[in-house]
Amino acid sequence: MDKLLSIWNFIRRHKYSITTLVFAIIIGFLDENSMVRRIGYAREINRLQEEINGYRSEYEESTKRLNELTTKPEAIEKIAREKYLMKKPNEDIYVFEEEEDKK
């Protein structure tokens, strides 16, 4: 009974500290909107924003290339020669490939 009384006195003296600690634990770790989850969500949002920016820049580059292809016939010829190895009737094509050093 003496131990129980001493525990009760401890709780009475430190009730605000104990309440604050319990509240911090619930909000920080156990709640559905806990700080741990919020930090994880913030990281995911940043990663997705970077991915969106990458796609946006890729889209802008593709749009620029498409506009160039529709306005300049030289651009179509350049891509046909470089990417698809097409040639004019009296031309020869030489393709040089660089070998990678395997170490």
Q: What is the mean pLDDT of the chain?
A: 87
**For each of the chain's 103 residues, which pLDDT tens digit applies?**
889 899 999 999 999 999 999 998 888 888 788 888 899 999 999 999 999 999 999 999 999 989 988 888 888 888 887 788 777 788 877 778 888 776 5
pTM of the model: 0.54
pLDDT digits 0-9 by tens, 73-82: 888 888 887 7
Triad 69, 71, 73: Cα angle to 5°? 65
Give the helix ranges, DSSP H, for the chain.
2-13, 15-25, 35-71, 73-84
